[in-house]
Chain A
Amino acid sequence: MSDRLAYDKATAELPGTTTDSSIEVRPLYTAADLAGAALEERLGLPGQPPFTRGPYPSMYRGQLWTMRQFAGYGSSEETNERFKFLLRQGQTALSVAFDLPTQLGYDSDHDLARPEVGRVGVAVDTADDVDELFEGLPLDKVSVNFTINATAPIILAMYLVAADRQDVAYERLSGTLQNDILKEFLARKLFVYPPAPSMRLAADVVEYAAAHLPRFNPISITGYHAREAGCDAVQELGLTMADAVAYARELVGRGIDFDTFAPRLSFHFATTLDLFEEVAKLRAARRLWHSIATEQFGAKDPASARLRFFSGNSGATLTAQQPYNNIVRSTIQCLGAVLGGAQSVHVMGYDEAYELPSEEAVTLSLRTQQIIAFESGVTRTADPLAGSYYVEWLTDEVERRAREVMDAVEQAGGAVAALEAGIPQRWIADSAYRIEREIGSGARPKVGVNLYEDEAGREELRLFHLDPRVGERQIRRLQERRAARDGGRVRAALRALAVDLEDGRNVMPALVEASRAGATLGEMSDVLRQSFGEFKEPNPW
């Protein structure tokens, strides 16, 4: 017989401790913590409602997660080369990073664009650039993730033109368009138009995809960037679900049946270092979405309530000091994503506090995934942490608290109104400041930063180096393409786009035609800017 009283006495003097999300954790969890609603009902089986244990019955025994390193820099040629390098190293799908002008709707020769061309991602000005990006990569075979939001409809249109030119039917395209504009206002900050027309564009894409792109995820509802901007795991989950509710309302409000688009909604979470809390969060996310989809939106198709997600590990947890430690941090985070049942994973380069990752660093990120996949054995059984007293208790706790965050957003008028009032942005900034002060005081241990610092200096890293002439080359190419196209056809296509915007029609067909005619990303964005205006963030600072 165990003696609980004696145990409690022996541990009574232990100092308190909390998770990353400030959830108080006791030294021990037991079967008594699993009381309450029947565990079987809260968990289900993998591939069955409420999907707590995973979206698919066989999980990684059936199919490993997709290894999808985020990549892009310079022009299409350089990025195409990096893609092919990654595929040769065993990566199983692609993920495109775009430069800032592309993400904000400026052509490479715009004054605001010039210093930024090709820096944080690939520069795209016309559909020809997208063609070249996928040169030698058959789009019916390779799944592509696009981290693009404000200009997502334009990039999707260019991708469809590239598919046409490869003779690939739209129904064979697979991949994901991030297209989550709400989290741009919330945290990532690459918005262009005000929230309401931005929601219209995002919903146009989802609606178009529901009709034409059956294997493509037209949105990835994302908590990752709010987390990177400083919020905790509970806030990340609550804010993501509040955004998901806002998109679903927008689409249902158009008279579209929830079950026609919900199965293709995908999600994106960070996985950071508090391993068990992260696993709990990812499991809670699936149960929470099931509850929202069925109870709030009346989902009839089980696939509408089955949450699938991509996980990126957190750059914010990595340090400039002792950068090789980041390899270890990323390994723990990748393991968390896998134990949490991710469908797709990215692992950060250890050198990203300094530059875009070097070839050596991205290879190591991919190897991290491969070692976990093929050597660790964690893939053998679905949801291996299920039934753990601690993990189940924490899953319940994270879910309960995330619902409170959702309630707070709801009280502020829903996700859009809350953003416009700057409320969740404030939560995120306050949390970021708290974390930084905790690191400063030592209350939050960071090896190499406030523990075991090495005064000897930094390791010499072989950093990535961007060819400084890349911007000029891109601009020259853009100008040649502008000169070579049929100007009358471009003008007509842009006029047709303006008319469709005015009349409230779905923007996708006109964007596809304009892209095909050779209109540039900047020209199409200007038509949208003309119609919608631009958003200036309210500045309470």
Chain B
Amino acid sequence: MREGLHVVLAKPGLDGHDRGIKVIAMALRDAGADVAYLGLRCTPAEIAAAAVERDADVVGISVLSGAHVALAEQLLGAMEAAGSRAPVVVGGTVPEGDAQLLRAMGVADVLPVGTPLDEVVSRIVRIASEPAALR
């Protein structure tokens, strides 16, 4: 595992529930990661640009409005357009059926509400640590 994983976290869409993503940002930082939390109402293009600029090992978004499928789709498109190969992780109120759909779309992992914090951290770190060639 290379030192100081680069993590970009953001809230896309319009919802304001940022308790979870801030907690995750603090926990990842305590686990030694370099974390940029971009804040609320980020556009897919802004998130993708930050992923490129910060050479992100993983990009995490949190959506609690139910709009996760449309927003993840937009983000994956923007990441490709920006030339970022960083894996995308989605958290929030994601029902199991949608989680499968998201994975099929190319989302690396889904962390629904209720996932224990240490598990969230270890799964994000694991994904971020995978060599880019395997992605």
Contact = CB atoms under 8 A, between A and B. Distances in A.
Interface residues of chain A: helix, strand, loop or mixed (majority): loop
A541 B16 CA distance: 16
A418 interface: no
A190 B14 CA distance: 8
Q: Which 3 A-B pairs have the closest CB atoms?
A: A320-B114, A189-B16, A115-B70
A355 B95 contact: yes
A119 B19 contact: no
B117 A119 contact: no
Interface in B79-104: 93, 95
Interface string A92-125: 0000000011011010000011111001100000
Nearest to B36: A541
Chain A interface size band reads: 35 or more
Which among B38, B40, B112 has the greatest number of chain A C-beta atoms within 10 A?
B40
Interface stretch (A162-170, A380-388, A435-443): A435-443
Contact of B116 (A103, A433, A440): A440
A537 B41 CA distance: 10
Interface residues of B, number: 33
A51 B15 CA distance: 37
A355 B14 CA distance: 17
B40 A189 contact: yes
A432 interface: yes
Contacts of A113: 14
Contact of B114 (A100, A316, A353): A353
Contact of A321 (B18, B19, B114): B114
Contacts of A115: 13, 67, 70-71, 74
17 contacts: A112-B14, A113-B14, A116-B65, A229-B18, A320-B112, A321-B114, A354-B113, A355-B66, A429-B22, A429-B26, A432-B19, A432-B23, A436-B23, A437-B117, A440-B117, A537-B39, A539-B39
B49 interface: no
Interface in B109-131: 112-114, 116-118
A319 B114 contact: yes
Nearest to A113: B14
B117 A120 contact: no
B25 A541 contact: yes
Nearest to A463: B95
Contacts of B93: 353-355
Given A354-B113, A537-B40, A541-B36, 15 more contacts: A106-B14, A116-B67, A120-B65, A189-B17, A189-B18, A190-B16, A320-B112, A356-B66, A429-B19, A432-B22, A433-B23, A437-B27, A437-B117, A541-B22, A541-B37
Contacts of A429: 19, 22-23, 26
Contact of B95 (A229, A354, A541): A354
A331 B18 CA distance: 27
Interface string B11-35: 0011111110011011100000001
Nearest to A106: B14
Contacts of B38: 539
A290 B116 CA distance: 42
A353 B92 CA distance: 9
A230 B39 CA distance: 17
A433 B26 contact: yes
Nearest to A117: B67
B116 A120 contact: no
Contacts of A437: 27, 117
A329 interface: no
Contact of A230 (B19, B67, B70): B19
Contacts of B70: 114-115
B39 A541 contact: yes
B69 to A, nearest CB: 8
A466 interface: yes
A3 B47 CA distance: 67
A432 B19 CA distance: 7
Interface in A54-104: 100-101, 103-104
Contacts of B118: 440
A381 B103 CA distance: 56
Contacts of B117: 436-437, 439-440
A449 interface: yes
Given A120-B66, A433-B27, A316 B19 contact: yes
A120 B67 CA distance: 9
A209 B23 CA distance: 40
Nearest to B25: A541
A103 B41 CA distance: 13
A458 to B, nearest CB: 8
A353 B67 contact: no
A188 interface: yes
A319 B17 CA distance: 16
Contacts of A433: 22-23, 26-27
A194 to B, nearest CB: 15
Nearest to A461: B95
Nearest to B29: A541
A232 interface: no
A320 B112 CA distance: 9
